[in-house]
Amino acid sequence: MGSRIFSLCIWFTVLLILNGSQAQPGFVSLDCGGKDDFTDELGLKWVPDSQMISGDIANISVANETRTQYMALRYFPADNRKYCYTLDVIPRNRYLVRATFLYGNFDKNNVYPKFDISLGTTHWATIVISDANTMEYQEVIFLAKEPSVSVCLSNATTGQPFISTLELRHFNGSIYMTDYENDFFMSVSARINFGAESDDPVRYPDDPFDRLWESDTIKKANYLVDVAAGTERVSTKMPIDVNTVNGEMPPQKAMQTAVVGRNGSLTYRLNLDGFPGFGWAFTYFAEIEDLDPSDSRKFRLVLPGAPEISKLVVNIQENAHGKYRLYEPGYFNLSLPFVLSFRFRKTYDSTMGPLLNAMEINRYVKRTEGSLDGPVISSLISHYGSSSWANEGGDPCLPVPWSWIRCDSDIRPRITSIKLSGLNLTGNIPSELTKLSGLIELWLDGNSLTGPIPDFSGCPDLQIIHLENNQLSGQLPSTLEGLANLKELYVQNNMLGGSVPSGLLDNGVILNYTGNVNLRKGESSRSRRKIIIGSSVGASALLLATIVSCILLQKGKKSSPKKGRVELNLPPQRFVSSLGDPATEAAHCFTLAELEEATKDFEKKVGSGGFGVVYYGKLKDGKEIAVKVLTNNSFQGKREFSNEVALLSRIHHRNLVQFLGFCQEDGKSILVYEFMHNGTLKEHLYGKFLSYFD
Name 114's bridge partners. 128, 158
Burial bucket for residue 425 (CB in 10 Å: 0-12, 13-18, 19+): buried
Letter for the amino acid at 573?
Answer: Q
Q: Dump the DSSP string for 112-150.
A: --EEEEEETTEEEEEEE---TTS-EEEEEEEE--SSEEE
Residue 600 marked as a ligand binder: no
Give Dmax over CA atoms of the chain in angstroms: 153
Q: How far apart, in Å, are the Cα atoms of 433 and each of 150, 304, 411, 459? A: 24, 56, 22, 9
Nearest residue to 497 via CA among 521, 473, 477? 473
Query: 86 Cβ partners below 8 Å, 6+ apart?
Result: 51, 148, 149, 150, 393, 394
* Beta strand 184-193 pairing with 136-143: antiparallel
Name 343's bridge partners. 267, 302
Name 86's bridge partners. 150
Phi, psi of 96 (to 5 degrees): -115, 135
Q: How far apart, in Å, are the Cα atoms of 144 and each of 90, 148, 151, 421, 544? A: 7, 8, 13, 35, 82
Nearest residue to 395 via CA among 420, 367, 369, 366? 369
Residue 139 near residue 101, CB atoms below 8 Å = no
Name 148's bridge partners. 88
Q: Peptide bond before 276: cis, by omega within 30 degrees of 0?
A: yes
Residue 209 near residue 171, CB atoms below 8 Å = yes
**Residue/partner pairs of 571-575 with CB below 8 Å, 24 or more apart:** 575/645, 575/646, 575/648, 575/649, 575/661, 575/662
Q: How far apart are CA 495 and CA 515, in angstroms?
A: 8
Nearest residue to 366 via CA among 168, 118, 154, 137? 118
How far from chain centre, in Å, is Cα 492?
Answer: 28
Alpha helices in 436-512 (DSSP H): 502-506
Name 232's bridge partners. 260
Q: How far apart are CA 373 and CA 378, in angstroms?
A: 9
Binding residues: 628
- Residue numbering of the annotated binding site for ATP: 628
